[in-house]
Amino acid sequence: MPKINIVKIADFQVGGATPLLIAGPCVLEDLDIALECARFMKEVAQKAGFNYIFKASFDKANRTSLSSYRGPGLEKGLAMLEQVKKEVGVPVISDIHEPWQAEPAAEVLDIIQIPAFLCRQTDLILAAARTGQPVNIKKGQFVSPWDMYYAVEKARGAGAQGIILTERGYTFGYRNLVVDMRAFPIMRNFGVPVVFDATHSVQLPGGAGGASGGEREFVAPLARAAVAVGVDGIFMEVHPEPKKALCDGPNSLPLEEAKGLLMILKEIYEVIRKNDILSP
C-alpha cells in the first residue's frame, strides 16, 4: 500500500492507527439535538476507540423540494457549531456550497467538507484548500473513484493542509445507489485517507416523493464490509429519533444502533491493521 499523508485535525491524526468517526445529524435542527448527538457520540467513540468529529450541515442547498428544510443558514449554523465545539470539546465539520463561504466557515470548522454533488467545482475546492484547514471531499455519485485523483490534485495545488476522500455510493439506475468496494483501495492509492459514508450510501435519492428515502437496514453490513476492505474512518448520520429528523431520517441511525455498530467496526479495523493489510 502507498504511504498515506497523515491529516492532523485538532489533537489527533487521520490515516494512522486509530480510526476516525464523523457523525451527527444530517442538518442542524436546534442546539439541543446537536449537543445531544455530539455528547453521545463522543462518549461512544472514546469507548470504541475512535477519534471523533461532529458533523452537521448549516445549509442543505441540494434538497429535492423547495419546501424541504435546509437548515439555519451560515451565520446561525456556524454559531451553533461553535457552541457544540466549546461545550462538548469536539472538532466540527460542515459543508460549504459556494466559494465565499470558505473563509467564514474556516473560522469555526476544524475541517471543511465539499459536498458530493460539488466535488468537480474547482473554485469551491480551491477556496476551501486556501483557508489552511483540512478538506474532506466527498466523491460524487456520478464520479468514478479514479477521477477523484483530479479533485485531490486541485486541493493539493491550492496548498491544502490535509485532504480526505469520502465514498458515498454511486448512482445506479433511478433513485438508487451502490457501493463499489474497489473504490476504497483505488482512492487510498492517491496517498490520502479514505472514509466511508455508511448512511448516505443507503439513501434512495428522491425516493420518498419529493424527499430522499433510505434503507437503514443496509448501513451495518456495508460499514462492516468497508472496514474489512480498508478505510481510515466511518461517516454516519445519527439522530435521537430518525423518524422525526428534518433531513435524511430514513437513512440515519438511532444513537443506540450507532453505538453497537462502532464496537464491531473497531474489532474488524484492528484485525486489518494487525495483519498489515493497511499501513499508514
**Averaged pLDDT score across all residues of the chain:** 92
CB atoms within 10 A of CB 132: 11
Of the candidates 221, 211, 222, 217, the one whose C-alpha atom is nearest the C-alpha of residue 248 is 211
Which pLDDT band, with edges at 50, 70 and 90, does 176 fall under? confident
Walk me through the domains of the chain, giving residue ranges and CATH numbers.
7-274 (3.20.20.70)
Rounded mean pLDDT of 101-127?
Answer: 98
CA gyration radius, the chain: 17
Which residues, 6+ apart, have CB-to-CB distance to 197 below 8 Å?
Answer: 138, 166, 167, 168, 169, 235, 236
CA distance 226 to 47: 21
CA distance 33 to 254: 13
Rounded mean pLDDT of 96-112?
Answer: 98
What is the separation of C-alpha 244 from the centre of its chain, rounded to a whole number of angstroms?
21
Which pLDDT tens digit goes with each residue over 45-64? 999 999 999 999 999 887 77
Pick the more confident residue, 174 or 120: 120
What is the separation of C-alpha 175 from the centre of its chain, rounded to a whole number of angstroms?
21
Which pLDDT tens digit goes with each residue over 244-267? 999 888 889 999 999 999 999 999
User: So what's the pLDDT on residue 146?
Assistant: 97
Which pLDDT tens digit goes with each residue over 203-245? 887 645 445 667 889 999 999 999 999 999 999 999 999 999 9
Provide the whole-model pTM: 0.94
CA distance 218 to 7: 29
pLDDT of 21 above 60: yes
What angle do helix axes 255-274 and 31-48 make, rounded to 10 degrees? 30
